[in-house]
Amino acid sequence: MTNRRRVAITGLGVVSPVGIGQEAFWQGLLSPQQSGDTRAADFDPKTCYSDSKAIRRADRFEQFAICATQEALAQSGALDADPDRIGVLVGTGVGGTLTHEEQAVVIERKGGRRVSPFAVPMMMANAASGAISIAHGFRGPCETVSTACATGTHAIGQAARWIHWDLCDAVISGGAEAGISGVAVNGFKNMKALSPTGLSRPFDEGRDGFILSEGAGILVLEEWERAKARGATILGEVLGSASLADAHHITAPAPDGLGAIRCMRRALEDAGLTPNEIGHVNAHGTSTPLNDAAEAMGIAEVFGVPGPIVTSIKGVTGHSLGAAGALEAAAVVLSMQHGLIPPTDGLETFDPALPKIDVVQKEPRAWTPMPALSNSFGFGGHNGTLVIGPR
């Protein structure tokens, strides 16, 4: 579309295992990972809920989304838009799985009459989007994306299209996940996706799987001219995006990085950019043998070697499934603000079998902000890429 509207990013909100709030999150990205629990241990829903009953009636993933939204909206300021034209598009990979697992135990031990009447609204994947809409009176489109680990990226890309296409003037978008449940942990463990060492080591020759984590990333997106007119601080711009399928395998990526290649090229085309105009790639970088190999081959094919500066923040954050892409989009914006790209923590020896892409190791890398890609690739063959530009 030649005359589509520009999309400004005017607010960020973050809940993560390495920090609650964007400033703590940024400092966490610059610090070495800690093995062990990857829950958002410092999270307290009381900081953003005034009603204790509302906390008890919201699954943890919804609580994350509500609190991250509060931070993002506080930074963005009052949205100068008709509530009918403010949308909400917040995704999740597994929704209220903690509630589902808890209530399954209740029905087994105490019988069906003891199942909570709030179980269904707590479990449903659209609970976070609905709760944000209700809390703030946003009456535009209110939807949920669920595409496994590509969810957060797909949600932001689609939200930007709502603004591009003049369906909305502002959209609250991102992803939220609280999926560290017994079923999920053991399911991932038994399929050998989790690291038995408890360490995330993206692109390392000894990488052996990811660490399951949780969190939420929320972005406030606005039509560019409207954001400028109201005096909002513009943090960055969503320049384009892509969403494509591998059509190959339910868990394994397409061979030779073909899915990643197609998705990155389509996103560049959507943004109207060439590969040499990209300065940074925030990689999906899960620390699994197949994903990192496919992504490295894809980056090398699209950009050549060494190509743009690459990092994976999953070395410190772990893998938060449906929230990962949104947290990584937030990390890209923060990297632009600070003029630094965080290191790929856990990467000690770059795998010599991979193309020699320029992955940041050990220390953060100074850079002059320019357009960047953020990649997400999910089970089911879902590929997503965002193109984000500096303000």
Active site residues: 149, 284, 319
The vertex-332 CA angle with 331 and 338, nearest 5°, equals 85
Nearest Cα neighbor of 87 from 155, 138, 12 is: 138
Q: Are strands 280-282 and 309-311 parallel, antiparallel or unpaired?
A: parallel
Return the exposure string of 302-322: e unless at least 16 CB atoms fall within 10 Å of the residue's CB, then b: bbeeebbbbbbbbbbbbbbbb
Q: Side chain identity at 167, as an amino acid letter?
A: L
Token pair 């209110």: residue:
142
Contacts for 243-247: CB closer than 8 Å, 24+ residues apart: 243/147, 243/150, 243/154, 243/157, 243/158, 243/382, 243/383, 243/384, 244/383, 245/380, 245/381, 245/382, 245/383, 246/381, 246/382, 246/383, 247/381
Q: Is 173 helix (H, G, I), strand (E, B) or coil?
A: strand
d(CA 326, CA 239): 16
Reduced DSSP (H G I as helix, E B as strand, rest coil) percent helix, strand, coil of the chain, to 5 = 40, 20, 40
* Whether the Cβ atoms of residue 251 and residue 209 lie closer than 8 Å to each other: no
